[in-house]
Each structure stands twice: as C-alpha cells, then as structure tokens.
Structure 1
Amino acid sequence: MQNILDFNLEDLKQWISEEGESTFRAKQILDWIYKGTLEFDQMNNIPKSLIEKLKDKFYFSIPEVVDKFKSDIDGTEKFLLAYNDGNLIECVVMRYKHGNSICVSTQVGCRMGCKFCASTVGGMVRNLSSGEIIAQVLVAQKITGERISNIVLMGSGEPLDNYENVIKFIRLVNASYGLNIGQRHITLSTCGLVPEIMKLADEDLQITLAISLHAPNDVLRKTMMPVANKYSIDEILEACKYYINKTNRRITFEYSLVSNVNDNEEQAKELCEILKGMLCHVNLIPVNEVRENNFKKSTSEKIKKFGNILNSCGIETTVRREMGADINAACGQLRRSYLEARKDNKGV
C-alpha cells in the first residue's frame, strides 16, 4: 500500500485512469483530503466502488501526537509526532499578526552536524516523504483548529539533503487543489549545499531561501558547521547570486550569535564586507543552548551592537523574535529529551 499524501493531482489521475475510473475524481479526492477528511469512507461524493479501490491501494500516513506543549508567553505550540515506523519528529506552530506559521521537519534527525543544533545529535535516521511533511501541516491544523498560512522548512533535517521530496512538498502545498499556500509564504533554510542551491534556482519557484551562515569566514565556520569543509563561503555566495539572478528574490542569511565566538565588532564588519551589494537580509538569532556544546547566547547589548553595524553598512538586519522560549521550541530539543527519557526507562 502507498501513502496517498505522497500523490499529487497528476499521480492520482494516472492511477484512477489505470483503474478505469473517471479522472475528475482525483481532484474530488484531494479536495476532501486537504479540507481535513482523512478517511475514504467519509468522501460521500466518491462512488463506493472507487472507495473500495482506494482502501485497497492507499493509506494515510498521519503521525500520532506523542506530546504537545503550548507557550504561556506567546501561544507557540510544539508537537512531538510519531510516524508509523515509530520514528519521531517535531513541528512548531507560531502565531503572528500576519497569520500562523508552521516550522516543519524534512528528515528524522540530520547528518549535517552543526554544533549549535539539537536535531543533529545522533545523526540522520531517514528522509521524510513529501506526504509525511504535509501530514505535519494537516495535523497542526486539525489540533489547533486554525489555518496555517506560512511554512518554514527549518525543523529537523537539511531540506536540500532531501531534495526531491521537499520540492514535491512545496508544489503540493502551493497547489490550488492542495493547501493553496502561496510560494512567497514558504521559506526554505539550508546550511549551504551549493549544487542543490543552484538546482533550486532553476525550479522556477518564488519561495524565500534562507542560508544558515553563522560566520563571516571559512576558518570560523568550519569550527561550527562541518559542511564548511566541503563548500566555502565564496562558493555559497556565488550560488546565492545565481539564485537571486534567476528568481529576483531576496535571500535571508541566518546568523546565530554565540557569545565570544562569532559576535564581536570585527566579525560584524567582516560580514558587511562579504554581503555588501547583495539583495539580502540578515536575521540575527540568539543561539539556542545545547547540552552537547558550551555555546552560550550573546548578550542583548552585543546582539544590538552587531545588528547596528550591519544596518549602518546598508544591510537590512533584524533580530529573530524568540518564540516558545518556555517550551524548548527550538528544533530537536523535544525529540532528544523524549528519546533520552525512553532510553533511561528501558534501562531501569
């Protein structure tokens, strides 16, 4: 059997045609699914004969909610989800004036090894399919009873390391028969896989590309991000310029500020030099503290000074608002804590 959430309109039309049924039924079925009906028997305008065929061929891979938390500070909600094979991922719903955003995971774990990220502890287990990523949005909408209008691919995993599934996910959620979320309301964050950035530029998408940079030079970046040993900052910036030229979209550079590591005045000036003249925006992020390293969050004074230097150089810079600080809303933290607790209980 196959997960029907992995099927787009053309996939489903082809299968229905092969079954000798009318292809217009494909859109009817997807209309039900993306309105939240996840049982074939409830699709009351679909012939019973086709319902039976659907039940024989497909299933819904909807993850179980293992745990959930809601912030008393800002209403952010975090969900720990388990798929059919027992693997765990997280997603986070954040509420803003402009609408609800969801941060989705694209892999179980991550193999990129960034030292400031909890999702990479333990490595990568497997990729998520396009339907398994979509299921996070459907579950979040069902639990909250609210529409998701913005998507951020910034949870567990490196999206461009799961390229084909992620592209299919973006096209599905953007489709009028899907969740109908505009591409400009979708942000993809990558640690800088150069060939995939170039490939993404040619996809004719209007999403926002965010680059996890976190250092103004390769020497420092290598101490924080193993991917820097494969792709230099110069190579990443060239790929970014190609992306800008192809899409005419502004790129966001994410910069996690770590106390006494990458947050001094000279490093801010160095960052100005390498980004000067680019169609870009810098998002400064107070680093999330992870037990496996000794990274500490920069002081608010240093964060402000760093941002002022960039803004004075003509580089638009903002400081990311910390959402769900009281519920460990940063990606990977909840899953890791749950796995550790489960391991400890088994050892008792």
Structure 2
Amino acid sequence: MAVSIDLAPKAAGPAGDALVPLAMVRPAIVSPTPERPHVIGMTREELGGVLALAGVPAKQIRMRTAQLWHWLYVRGVDDFAKMANISRDLRQKLSETADIARPEIVDEQISVDGTRKWLFRFPARGAGKPVEIETVYIPEEGRGTLCVSSQVGCTLTCTFCHTGTQRLVRNLTPDEIVGQVMVARDRLGDFPDADTPEGGILPSEGRLVSNVVMMGMGEPLYNFDNVRKALSVVSDGEGLALSKRRITLSTSGVVPMIAPTGEDMGVGLAISLHAVRDELRDVLVPINKKYPLAQLLEACRTYPGVSNARRITFEYVMLKDVNDSLADARELVRLLQGIPAKINLIPFNPWPGSAYECSDWDQIERFAEVVNQAGYASPIRTPRGRDIFAACGQLKSESERMRKTERAAATP
C-alpha cells in the first residue's frame, strides 16, 4: 500500500504505519521576508550583492561568493552556522540579512513502486497567500528522476490533465523551483554532509537525483525567466551540477518561446502533443487554438541543437477511442517526418471526475508497433505512483486561484 508520512511528532501508529522519525526531518527555518531575501536560486552576482550588504569588503566578494555557493549547492547546508570556513561574525551577519530555508514539507507519500510525492508549501509573497505545489521523485535502475513544478496551478486547462482543473495561482520564483531539488536531495541523502540517519532518507544504490524534468505543475514557458534562472543554478558545474543533457523541459506548445529555450537554456525539449489533428488537439490541449500543429512542429524542426543525438521527445497520452487508432499512429509518423524524435506513449492516468479512459493495453502495443516500424523509438511509459496520484497528469494542490492583481503583487 502507499505510505503517507506524517512530519509532525506522533506516537506509534497502528501496525503497518510507516512514520519517519522526527530527527530525520530538518528543522524549519524562518521564512524569507523582504528584509531577508532568499538566496537559493540567485545568480553569483546577486549573491555577491547580498554579501556586500552583509559588510563583506569588495575585494573579498568573489572568494566569499564561491564559498557560499559551495556550501549551498555542493554540501547542501541549510544553516549559515554550518559554513565552517566562514568567520563566525560573517555567519551571524548572513543569518540576520539573508535566508537559505528549504520549502516546508506538508506531506510526503511513498508509492508501492517507490515513487515519492511531496506537497510543498511556500510562504506568502507580496499581497498573496501561502501556496502549495507537488513534486515527484521517480526511482529507476541506475538513475532517479525528479519531476519539478514551475507554477502553482496552470493556465492551459488541458482536458485530460488533473493539474489543468486548478486555475493558475501564480508563477514559482527561482528559489522555489531550485528549492524542490534541494529538498529532494535532502530527503534522499543525496548531499555529502547528510549524516545517516539524521540527514535524509537513504535511497537504494544509485537512486539519487540524476535527472530533472520540468513536467510538474504548470507550463514552464509561461514562466520563462524564472525557469531559465533556476535551471542555470541546477546545471551549474560548480554546484548541483546536473548536466543539461539530463534536464528536460516539457511544454504544451508555447511556440514563440521554444527557440529561446534552446538558445538560452540548452536543455532537452519535450512536447505534450497528444493529438495529430488540430480539431482534436484544440479540445485536448487548448493552446493549440493559438499555436496550431503546423507552427508547433516547425518550431521543433528548427529547435537549436536538435539532432539524432539530441532528439525531441513527443509525449502522447493514450485515450481510449479518442486518439489511439492505428490511423492516428500513421498520421503521427507522417507529422514527425524529418524531426529527430522519440515518442513517449503514456497510458492515461485517471483522476476523480476525468472524462477519459485509458486505451486498452493491446491497442497501445499495436499503436507503438506502427511507430516503431517507421523508425521511431516509442517506449510505453510504465505508470508510476498512481496509488498516490503522483503519475503524469495527476498533480494538483488546494491553493486557490488569485485575482490578476493579487498574482501581480505576489510576483517579485
């Protein structure tokens, strides 16, 4: 059965309950305020500015920035007091002027297949309210993939997606995006200073955060600047050091931002396709009305860096009697002709109130065979974390939609 981990102090539960000892959860740290900016997700230049405000002489800024960067992203510390090679006075000053707190973990669930889902809460920004998002970790042999959210809710209202039923609350900031990676590494014991058992939950051998996919809640390309800044920190070779080849950004088709994604981020591209005809995609993925298939596929053909070595992934959710015919498979092959591509076939993951059913497994295999015979890899994605609603298209939080003026006030 799935396990939900209560993070509050609690007496032993009934037989079968699996609770994480309180000592295994890092203590909460005061949330950031305008007077105490959150430095996670900052550029080195911004970090230097924080150090300058803390009284560090100009000639020491570069050295101290490098030290701080190392402690934050290589050692993974969450308390300035742990930064041993920085003077006590400076550590105290930094703790008064800046913040390196992790997001608050409201809930942690573990699926029968080992998938983990975290519900994170972020403090109020500006005139807004505290908000919550979900992040998923998927363990696989030889690697571990973290599915990261970029928005609270979503603007796109894709009809097969649970997240699409939650209207946009606000964009996530760089520290909130990077913070998801930091907490995942904490909980998995993926930092070198994570002492066992207090420092984190140790995974099985090789089960670490080795890949990041921007496939959680929200449309990343509608939060382009913050996502770009966050991924530059995640991929920095002197910090978290995830190769850009191990980072994939998924979009439903914000065509004008696809080329800049390749130019400015240089990460892998995934397209939420799901239909091969405009009239159907208009229903399943309504952004298609603004950027129809012809425009989307042309942007993919010219994506910077695309090649047989760096193929574009096309995601195709299998909906029974909707988009799963062999004629659809043949049309998919025709549409993608000339694009170095891989097609991920995703069995539909049901959620309460959804109007769709998953295609029969035999039909999914027949569909995949047509695509395979045309020379395209078309793996059928094994559903992961369905029992805890952590599978593709199932993420959602209870944060309420803000008015437009509130969203603007809540975005730094």
Q: TM-score, with normalisation over the residues of structure 2?
A: 0.78
Change in 2 beyond 3 A, CA 1:269/1:334: closer
Change in 2 beyond 3 A, CA 1:237/1:334: closer
Contact kept in structure 1, 2:217 and 2:396, CA below 8 Å: no
In 2, the alpha carbon distance for the partners of 1:282 and 1:335 equals 25
Q: Which residue pairs with 1:31 in the alignment?
A: 70
Structure 1 residues 248-294: Cα deviation after superposition (integer angstroms, max 9, x where no partner) = 72100000010010001111111111112211110000112233431
Stretch deviating more after TM superposition (138-147 or 234-243): 138-147
Contact kept in structure 2, 1:62 and 1:83, CA below 8 Å: no
Stretch deviating more after TM superposition (236-245 or 306-315): 236-245
1:66 matches 2:113: no
Equivalent residue in structure 2 for 1:149, among 202, 210, 213: 210
In 1, the alpha carbon distance for the partners of 2:318 and 2:92 equals 55
1:235 matches 2:275: no
Q: Which residue pairs with 1:92 in the alignment?
A: 136
In 1, the alpha carbon distance for the partners of 2:394 and 2:346 equals 17
Structure 1 residues 138-176: Cα deviation after superposition (integer angstroms, max 9, x where no partner) = 111111224311101100011111101111111101112
Q: Which residue pairs with 1:345 in the alignment?
A: none
Contact kept in structure 1, 2:349 and 2:386, CA below 8 Å: no
In 2, the alpha carbon distance for the partners of 1:112 and 1:204 equals 23
Change in 2 beyond 3 A, CA 1:155/1:181: same
Number of aligned positions between the proteins: 337
Q: Which residue pairs with 1:346 in the alignment?
A: none
Q: Please tell me the residue identity of whatever aligns with 1:109.
A: G
In 2, the alpha carbon distance for the partners of 1:300 and 1:101 equals 25
Unaligned runs of 5+ in 1: 341-348
Bigger strand fraction: 1
Q: Please tell me the residue identity of whatever aligns with 1:84.
A: P
1:7 matches 2:42: yes
Q: Please tell me the residue identity of whatever aligns with 1:188.
A: L
Structure 2 counterparts to residues 66-145 of structure 1, below 5 A: 66-72=106-112, 74-85=113-124, 86-145=130-189
* Aligned sequence identity (%): 38
Q: Which residue pairs with 2:82 in the alignment?
A: 42
In 1, the alpha carbon distance for the partners of 2:265 and 2:233 equals 15
In 1, the alpha carbon distance for the partners of 2:317 and 2:367 equals 11
Unaligned runs of 5+ in 2: 1-35, 125-129, 191-207, 401-412
Contact kept in structure 1, 2:217 and 2:395, CA below 8 Å: no
Contact kept in structure 1, 2:278 and 2:293, CA below 8 Å: yes
In 2, the alpha carbon distance for the partners of 1:281 and 1:332 equals 20
Structure 1 counterpart SS, 2:324: coil
In 2, the alpha carbon distance for the partners of 1:175 and 1:153 equals 17
In 1, the alpha carbon distance for the partners of 2:87 and 2:392 equals 43
Q: Deviation of residue 2 (structure 1)?
A: 1.1
Contact kept in structure 2, 1:134 and 1:169, CA below 8 Å: yes
Stretch deviating more after TM superposition (185-194 or 49-58): 49-58
Bigger helix fraction: 1
In 2, the alpha carbon distance for the partners of 1:93 and 1:245 equals 28
Q: Deviation of residue 245 (structure 1)?
A: 5.2
Equivalent residue in structure 1 for 2:342, among 281, 302, 307: 281
Contact kept in structure 1, 2:268 and 2:310, CA below 8 Å: yes
Structural RMSD (CA): 1.9
Q: Please tell me the residue identity of whatever aligns with 1:217.
A: R
Q: Which residue pairs with 1:343 in the alignment?
A: none
Structure 1 counterpart SS, 2:264: coil
In 2, the alpha carbon distance for the partners of 1:169 and 1:102 equals 14
Q: Please tell me the residue identity of whatever aligns with 1:33.
A: L
